[in-house]
A = this chain, B = another copy of it.
Amino acid sequence: MPNPTAAMLVIGDEILSGRTRDGNTHYLAGQLTQQGITLAEARVVADEAPAIIAAVNALRGQYDSVFTSGGIGPTHDDITADAIAAAFGVGISHRADAMALLAAHYERSGMEFNDARKRMARIPDGAKLIDNPVSTAPGFILGNVHVMAGVPSVFQAMVATVLPTLTGGAPLLSQSLRVHRGEGEVAAPFGALAAEYPDLSMGSYPFTVNGAHGTNLVIRGSDAARIDAAMTRLAALFPA
């Protein structure tokens, strides 16, 4: 049975303007791979409702699960929760359990629980909250869409909460061989080997060190014995 599939949707003008470099996609990719879930696509869209709605609806229909990051804070440009509600055609309101969490948090920290902060308790109807152990304001799950914060420490904590609840597949394993030859030289035998192992994914990644060209040859799959067999063949093709 093929592994479950997932998509990442990064929401934020600051990524597209070049102000901030997204790291959440790379983090999620590593976590999903360990869990045996195939990250099949990632997208970045601006803080604009039509763009968010279109992307969420395209991705949630195409993949088993969707993860979003960004746009769930207290300011006017945080429109993710409203856009997700619109994408699902459901209502959204300040929810009592989220309000209680935030009220207790601001009480403890001696800060005013003002209208802006109350916005973070706006949750689409029917959603399940995702715990935020870092800064309290929750994420949420609606259908197969997991809505999480953009701040990396919060995003990572939410991923840690959510991942164990998902059904994974066989973890994706990989082995690699570093050869001191250019990609163009290894391409033919490497391609022929890949054709013999259609159940494995083989990729080549060139590198340059001190002006010398080399290639990392990577074999990925979920069957450790098959990868071992292919690696033995690969090592024989390119002896050190």
Q: Identify the A interface with B (CB < 8 A).
A: 13-23, 25-27, 29-33, 38-47, 51, 73-77, 111-112, 114-117, 119-120, 151, 172, 174, 182-188, 190-191, 194-195, 201-206, 218, 220
A73 touching B183 by the CB < 8 A rule? Answer: yes
Q: Which B-chain residue is minimally distant from A151 (CB atoms)?
A: B206
Q: A16-B38, A20-B205, A116-B185 are in contact. List 5 more A-B contacts (CB 8 A).
A: A19-B218, A41-B51, A47-B203, A73-B204, A114-B184
A71 CB to nearest B CB, Å: 10
B111 touching A185 by the CB < 8 A rule? Answer: yes
Q: Describe A's contact surface by its main secondary structure.
A: mixed
Copies in the complex: 2
Q: Taking A116-B191, A183-B73, A187-B116 as contacts, is the C-beta distance between A26 and B17 under 8 angstroms? A: no
B21 touching A76 by the CB < 8 A rule? Answer: no
Q: Taking A13-B203, A151-B206, A203-B14 as contacts, is the C-beta distance between A188 and B26 under 8 angstroms? A: no
A116 CB to nearest B CB, Å: 3
* Among candidates B14, B40, B112, B172, residue contacting A46 with C-beta atoms closer than 8 Å: B40
Tell me the bound Cα distance from A206 to B149 in angstroms. 12
A73 cross-chain contacts in B, Cβ below 8 A: 183, 187, 204, 206
A218 CB to nearest B CB, Å: 7
A16 touching B42 by the CB < 8 A rule? Answer: yes
Q: Which B-chain residue is minimally distant from A182 (CB atoms)?
A: B111
A21 cross-chain contacts in B, Cβ below 8 A: 23, 26
A75 cross-chain contacts in B, Cβ below 8 A: 183, 186-187, 190-191, 203-204
A205 cross-chain contacts in B, Cβ below 8 A: 14, 19-20
A46 cross-chain contacts in B, Cβ below 8 A: 40-41
